[in-house]
Amino acid sequence: MRFLIALLIGALSAFAFEPVGWWPLIPLALAGLCELVWRSKSLWQALAMGWGFGLGQFVIGLNWIATAFTYQAAMPAWLGWVAVVLLSLYLAVYPALATGLAWRFSRERPFALVLVLAGAWPITEWLRGTMFTGFPWNPVAAANVDTLSKVVPWIGTYGAGAFVVFLSGALWMLRRWEIRPLIAWLGVGVALSLLTDWTVKETGANPRQVRVIQPNIGQQDKWRPGFDEQAARQLAMLSMAPGGRHPRLLLWPEAAVTNPLEDSRLDENGAFARFERQRATAVIGPGEYLLTGGLSIFSNDGRRIGGAANSVFVLGQGGRELDRYDKAHLVPYGEYLPMRPVLSAIGLSRLAPGDIDFDSGPGPETASLPGWGKVGFQICYEIIFSGNVVDRRNRPDFIFNPSNDAWFGRWGPPQHLAQARLRAAEEGIPVIRATPTGISAVVDAHGLIVRSLPWRQVGVIDAMLPAPTSPTLFARFGNVIPLLLGFLLMISGIVLGRTRR
């Protein structure tokens, strides 16, 4: 019965995240989880409570993954829900580790349980984001970005998760009428007010304008034969629409141009790629640039395809390629098929069109754009990886995050945007998102949305490029901070659990 309750409160906690956004469900659910762990009679029961909680949260919160399967005609749609459940069965292991540690070291001391759980949570969330290529989707902090963006620059997303779990545990302890949680609430509130009073200075405004294009091209049309001509006209029309200042920086979504923009084969394919670049840049004038998602085709001998990449191109007038970024953190089953010989033999395939697996790039890079400063790149879900979105040796002035959320249903896009906002607040760097169907947005260096376009709406965003801040504490030290915080809380809880009443 307790396992079913854990499953239920985990499922309810999923509604704390976008697009529902009932964020109070998170502290209430975590307080309920503390009670379930406290009542556990063995380590296995405590592990089961965390596993059931995680299973319920991930199955509901990741329902958008099932939607992606509806765009792959080669596989049945019901297979999407099988994928969601199987993935959730694995992801739930991480909250189970946190609850198991909390029970093991609390020694029947409620405050010790809270401390160990709050310390173990950021460590297990970090592990979830790094193990087996990582999938850190919907960390606890993503449930209330507006509030937690004030502490994220100091302790990171995972540290903010520890903060939420600690306060949830204090809420649970209030039912016991103990004074310590009240003192804890007061201490954390004072610390939070001090942190938020230390304003991070912006490094100066950039008076240049950016234009983000959202053509509202759905996944059902994007790769349809012959649709590339219509898409090109739609992108050009929106790019040339009146209202923008000159010179401009144009930003198009991930894979906005479906035909390759670079092809190293020495035949008509290479010439066609040059034509696509010239057609795309016909909308820009002197001193303007186009940043667009596109495909790169590689060839070792100039004849046969040797590889491909999901790329962002920095293009100038006449189709000049000034720089290119190749996506480094690829999506399993989306951009490459793991164990291809085995899985393809049983009828499985990539969810995205094409039989060629993408090659991964070297990681975060920074390009210089005269007049606009330095830009970093993160393609699609690369933006969800805390501490791994910028080149720290060459800090950018803003991050361009082109994405294609067109096949992630109603829940995926707003959850994706929430995590992009966390990256902006962590690093003190604005993030500009361009997506084909929304939600496109300009996010400032504090994680606040300056301008956005709703889901499934055609339009453009004309906005002044927000300024970055000076490097935040997290930008300097990365996830060392939340991991140290987690271990400090855990050790404090273990010591408290071993002391006599």
Helices (H), 428-467: none
Q: Which of 18, 254, 382, 427 is catalytic?
A: 254
Q: Which of 380, 382, 426, 427 is catalytic?
A: 380
380 is catalytic: yes
Q: Quick one: three-class SS letters along 333-383?
A: CCCECCCHHHHHHCCCCCCCCCCCCCCCCCCCCEEEECCCEEEEECCHHHH
Which of 229, 327, 326, 324 minimizes the C-alpha distance to 280? 229
Beta bridge partners of 153: none
Which amino acid is residue 195, in one-letter code? L
Q: Quick one: three-class SS letters along 265-331?
A: CCCHHHHHHHHHHHHHHHHCCCCCEEEEEEEEEECCCCCCCCEEEEEEEEECHHHCEEEEEECCCCC
Residue 243 CB coordination number (10 Å) = 7
Omega prior to 430 cis, within 30 of 0: no
**Token pair 């996010």 in the structure block, residue:** 443
Quote the CA–CA distance of 447 and 423 in Å, as a whole number: 8
Quote the CA–CA distance of 428 and 426 in Å, as a whole number: 6
Beta bridge partners of 263: 297
Measured torsion, CA atoms of residues 448, 139, 177, 109, in degrees rounded to the nearest 10: -140
Q: Which of 288, 327, 335, 365 is catalytic?
A: 327
Reported as half-sphere exposure (CB side, CA atoms, 13 A), residue 247 has a value of 15
Q: Which two tokens stand for residue 408?
A: 């992630």
Q: Which two tokens stand for residue 489?
A: 């809380």
**Token pair 């990886």 in the structure block, residue:** 385
Beta bridge partners of 325: 312
| 30, burial (CB in 10 Å: exposed 0-12, middle 13-18, buried 19+) | buried
35 is catalytic: no
Beta bridge partners of 461: 212
Quote the CA–CA distance of 477 and 80 in Å, as a whole number: 38
Quote the CA–CA distance of 146 and 418 in Å, as a whole number: 9
Quote the CA–CA distance of 171 and 32 in Å, as a whole number: 10
34 is catalytic: no
Active site (catalytic) residues: 254, 327, 380
